[in-house]
A and B are shown apart, each in its own frame.
Chain A
Amino acid sequence: MFKAMLIKEFLLVSRDKHALAALFIMPAVFILIMSLALKDVFNEEKALIEYAVIDKDSSLESYAIISKLRANKMMNEHNISAPYGKPKEEGVQFIVVIPKGFKSQFTQSDANNTALQIEVAADIGQSHLMLFKTQILSAVMQTRLDAINLAQEMQHARSGKREAAQKIDFDEKKMMKIQYAALDEGEKPTSTQQSVPSWIVFGLFFVIIPMSTIFISERKQNTLMRLSTMNVSLPVLFGGKIIPYMLINQLQVWVMIAVGMFVVPLFGAAPLTIGGDILALVAISLALSLSAIGLSILIATVVDSVEQATTIGGIINILLGAIGGVMVPKFVMPEFMREFANVSPMSWGLEGFLDVFLRRGTLNDVMYEVGGLLVFGLVSLILAAIIFNYKIRRVA
C-alpha cells in the first residue's frame, strides 16, 4: 500500500510541470544569478571598488597616492575630468578629489584645507566605505612615510647625522572629508534608508499572486465571459483591476514607509527619512505599481490555473528581485550583471526609490525610471489584452 502511495506521489510530481519548475529550474536559475551577481565579492582578482580621482594638486605626492591606489587590484579607476557629476552619474562609487596644496601637509604639520575630499554614491553601505577609506589611508600613510624616509636620507647625506623622526599626525578626520552625494555635510545614509527601497519594490510586485489568482478564478468560472455578455468592455475590465490594485500598492508603500519612520526606531535602528521630493515618490510608486499590475494581468492571462499563477508568479517575482538588485546590491555585481539588471523593472523601481530616499531626487531625477516602468506596464497590458481576447474567443 505504501509503495503504491509513493509511486502515485512521484508520478504526480513528475507530471506537474510547474512544480518541477519551482523545485528544480527556479533554484538552478537562482543559483546562477546569485553566483554571477556575487562573483566579484569572492574573487580577489576582480575589482570591488569603482572610483575616480580628480587631482588638483598635480604634485609628486598626489601622483604617488594615485599610483598606489592604481596598484590595488581590489579597485578600478575610471577616468573623469572636471566638471564632473555625482558618483552615480560618473558610473563610480567614489570620487576622490586631491585639493590644491595637498602636498603641503607632507611638509607643514598645520596645513589647513588640504584633506582629501571623498564623494560617496548615496547607495554605498558603511562596510564598503570603510574598505575604501582603509585603502586611501594606507596609500597616504605610505606616501608620507616614504617622504619622511627620503627627507631623513637627504639630511644624513648632507650632515652625516639623522634627526629623530618628527611626529606624524594620522588623524583620519584631518586627512579626508567624506561627503555622501546629495546629502548635507556630515550626513550619512542609514541602513533603513538603504534597505527600505528594496523591500518596497519587492512588496509591490507581490501583488502578482492575489491579483492573478482572482483573475484566473474569474476566467475559469466564466465570470469574465458573463461580464462580456453584460457589455463590459476590456478597458473597463482591466481598468477595474488596475485602479484598486494601484490604491492597494500605494497603501503598501505608505505602510512600509510608516514602518521605517515610526516602528523601526522603536527597535533602536535609525528612522527612515524621505530626503527627496514627495511628488517624485508618488510618481515612481505609481509607475512601479502599473508595471507590477501589468505583469500580474499578463501572467494571469497566460497561465491556466491558480496553482500555475502562484508558482510562476512567485518564481518570476524572486528572479526579478535577484536580477534587479533587490537581494544583492547592484554595486557589488560585476559589470555585465549590472547591465543585465536593467532588464528587470524592479531595478528601475529600486533606482527611482533610491533617488528619492538617498539622493534627494526630484520629479525630474526619476523621470527616466518612471518612463521605463510606464512603458513596461503598458506593453504588458497590451500583450495581456491580445492574449485574453484570443483565449476568450477560443473558449467561446
Chain B
Amino acid sequence: MVKIEHLTKRYGDKVALDDLTLEIKSGTIFGLLGPNGAGKTTLISILNGLTKFDEGRVEVFGLPLEKNLHEIRKRCALVPQTLAFYENLSVIENLRFFGGIQNIEKKVLEQNIDYAVETNRLSSMLHQKASTLSGGQKRRLNIAIGLLNDPDILFFDEPTVGIDPESRNEILETIVSFKAADKTVIYTSHYMPEIEKICDEVAIINAGKIIRQGTIESMLSNESADQLILEIYETPRERLSLEISSMERLSIVDESTLMLEGKDAQSVSAALELLESKKIKVRNIRYGTTTLESLFISLTSKGRADV
C-alpha cells in the first residue's frame, strides 16, 4: 500500500529523514512512534504531498507519489492534530464544505456524509455550531471530515490529544472499526498505550531513521533485553504484593504480568521457586520489555546518547 525506499529529506544542513525505508501493508493500523523532531511529521507531510523529498522513492497504491499526487490524494485523508474545521459553521455545514471542495459527486457525498456522521456518532448534533461541541465531539468531527472522500488510507496525527478517557476510547474504537472497512490507518501518537491497543504494526523513528519496526509482540519479545517477563494467571495485586515482597528484583506489571530484572539462571530459578511456593502459576516466560513505552524510551534515549 505504502512503500518507501531510501527516503532522505534535508532542511539545509539538518537531515530530517535519513535513508528511510518502510513498507506499510494494506488494511493495517500502522503506528509511527518517535520523539519530537524525530521526523514523523516530515514523513507524514511527504506522504501527503505537502513537502518534497530530496532522495529516494515513495510509492502509494503502487504509484510513484510525485507523479500521481493528485490521484493519490483523492484516496487519502489527513486528520491533523489541530481541530482543522470552522468553529462558526455547524457540523453539517462543515461536512458539506469539506466534501464540496473535493468535487465529490453529490449523491456519493451524501452517502459519505451519512457514513462519517454515523461512524463518529454526530447525528444528534448536526445543526449545532462546531464551537459549542465538547472536546471529544470536536475530535470526532475532525475525524468525520477525513472520511468524506471515503479514503483508502487515513493519516492520524495525535487524534486524541486533550480529551477525556471515555471520548478517547470511543475514538480508538472508531479507528479500529476502519480496519473492518478495509482502510489502512497510519497513526502517530505519543500515548503508547493507545498504540499498543490499536496498532498491528509499529515503526519507531528517531533522528530521521527507523530504529525498530514490526508487530507489537515481536518488538516486546526481544531476546537481548535485560528483563524477563513472567506471564501468570490473573492474581489480585494485593496478594501479589504480599507474596513476592521478599524478592526485590521481581516487580508487578499488572495482575497477570511480573517482571524480573536480570536473566541469569540463579535469579530465574529463585523467582520460579518463589512463585511455585506461593502457588502462583506461571503461564509463559519470555525475554523482553513489558511495555512499548519502556522499549520506546530505552531505544530513543540510546539514540540520543549515540548522537
Contact = CB atoms under 8 A, between A and B. Distances in A.
Interface of A: 220-223, 225-232, 392-393, 396
Main secondary structure of the interface of A (DSSP, over half): helix
B84 A226 contact: yes
Given A229-B73, A230-B149, A392-B50, A222 B98 contact: no
Interface in B59-94: 70, 73-74, 76-78, 80-86
Contacts of A220: 82
Contacts of A396: 41-42, 45, 50-51
B50 A232 contact: no
A222 B102 CA distance: 17
Given A221-B83, A393-B50, A226 B70 contact: no
A230 B81 CA distance: 16
Across the A-B interface, give the 9 residue pairs with the lowest CB-CB distance, nearest first. A396-B45, A396-B50, A226-B84, A222-B80, A222-B84, A223-B84, A396-B51, A222-B82, A229-B78
B70 A229 contact: no
B161 to A, nearest CB: 13
A306 B149 CA distance: 31
Contacts of B49: 228-229
B174 interface: no
Contact of A230 (B42, B83, B102): B102
Given A223-B84, A225-B84, A396-B41, A230 B101 contact: yes
Chain B CB within 10 A, most for which of A221, A230, A232: A230
Contacts of A227: 101
A226 B102 contact: no
Contacts, number: 50
B78 A226 contact: yes
15 contacts: A221-B85, A222-B82, A225-B50, A225-B80, A226-B78, A226-B84, A227-B101, A228-B49, A229-B49, A229-B78, A230-B73, A230-B98, A231-B70, A232-B101, A396-B50
Contacts of B74: 231
Contact of B50 (A221, A223, A228): A228
B256 interface: no
A374 to B, nearest CB: 28
B167 interface: no
B267 interface: no
Contacts of A392: 50
Given A226-B84, A231-B74, 6 more contacts: A221-B83, A221-B85, A223-B85, A226-B78, A229-B50, A229-B77
A199 B67 CA distance: 51
Contacts of B85: 221, 223
A230 B50 CA distance: 11
Contacts of B52: 393
A229 B65 CA distance: 13
A227 B148 CA distance: 13
Nearest to B70: A231
Contacts of A229: 48-50, 73, 76-78
B230 interface: no
The CB with the most chain A CB atoms within 10 A, among B42, B51, B52, B81, is that of B51
A220 B49 CA distance: 19
Nearest to B103: A231
A392 B50 CA distance: 8
Contacts of A223: 84-86
Nearest to B145: A226
B50 A226 contact: no
B73 A226 contact: no
A236 to B, nearest CB: 8
A222 B161 CA distance: 15
Contacts of B48: 229
A243 B98 CA distance: 19
Contacts of A222: 80-82, 84
Contacts of B42: 396
Interface-central residue, B45, B74, B81, by most chain A CB under 10 Å: B45
B102 A231 contact: yes
A231 B73 contact: yes
A395 to B, nearest CB: 9
B49 to A, nearest CB: 7
A26 to B, nearest CB: 30
Contacts of B149: 230
A227 B86 CA distance: 12
B84 A221 contact: yes
Interface in B22-68: 41-42, 45, 48-52
Interface in B110-145: 145
A229 to B, nearest CB: 5
B78 to A, nearest CB: 5
A393 B80 contact: no
A372 B178 CA distance: 55
